[in-house]
Chain A
Amino acid sequence: EAAVTQSPRNKVAVTGGKVTLSCNQTNNHNNMYWYRQDTGHGLRLIHYSYGAGSTEKGDIPDGYKASRPSQENFSLILELATPSQTSVYFCASGDNGGQNTLYFGAGTRLSVL
């Protein structure tokens, strides 16, 4: 069964600290995505990747970096966390097919104090 695993599930960080959110997929999908979910905004795309070694900016990339060291792993990095980055973050993977069904992880709840 397709699986996307995120870690940690919950994280509390301090303002100005560095935060790394990790995502692992066993679907062998080329494409991976990071979204954040906030009340009133739905899901917004932060970064995505076509495959190992590639990262692309999504709709709201400011303050975030991404890393795709392998087909399976895609990380989201907050170099200097701010309270405005308090949110729930979702990782997803998708294939190259035209319909592009996405498979989501369970989410990481991040609080920046």
Chain B
Amino acid sequence: AQSVTQPDARVTVSEGASLQLRCKYSYSGTPYLFWYVQYPRQGLQLLLKYYSGDPVVQGVNGFEAEFSKSNSSFHLRKASVHWSDSAVYFCVLRSNNYAQGLTFGLGTRVSVFP
């Protein structure tokens, strides 16, 4: 069975500091991996995705993620956060049956303080 683990439920960071959100996945094949962000009272929006190629992928708003097959990880990073980055971030794995949608981690709530 496939799964996604986000070990940090909450992260607090100061504005201007760097951010790293951890994600570990379990999947026997070649993974499609995503990071989605959910702002308060909104639906989820795609930040970035990875399927193959360069293990470092760039996303929107200065986010990037690095895929590691050996570590089964897909960590998200941002060099300098802004208060508007306060949100819940979800690491997501595509299902074996893509029509079934995606397998979500539980999310990491990020709070950015001035």
Contact = CB atoms under 8 A, between A and B. Distances in A.
User: Do A and B share a complex?
Assistant: yes
Given A99-B94, A104-B44, A40 B106 contact: yes
B47 to A, nearest CB: 11
A41 B46 CA distance: 20
Contacts, number: 65
8 contacts: A92-B101, A99-B32, A100-B98, A100-B102, A101-B34, A102-B101, A104-B45, A105-B43
B42 A107 contact: yes
A25 interface: no
B100 A48 contact: yes
Interface string B18-61: 00000000000000101000000111111001010000000000
**Most chain A Cβ neighbours within 10 Å, of B41, B42, B51, B98:** B98
Nearest to A9: B41
By secondary structure, the A interface counts as strand
Contacts of A92: 43-44, 101
A14 B98 CA distance: 36
A100 B45 contact: no
Q: How large is the interface on B (under 10, 10 to 19, 20 to 34, 35 or more residues)?
A: 20 to 34
Contacts of A35: 101
B106 A41 contact: yes
A45 B42 contact: no
A50 interface: yes
For the complex of A and B, 3 pairs with smallest distance between CB atoms: A104-B43, A42-B106, A43-B104
A43 to B, nearest CB: 4
A4 interface: yes
A58 B100 CA distance: 7
Contacts of A56: 99-100
A58 to B, nearest CB: 7
Nearest to A104: B43
Contacts of B101: 31, 33, 35, 45, 48, 58, 92, 94, 100, 102
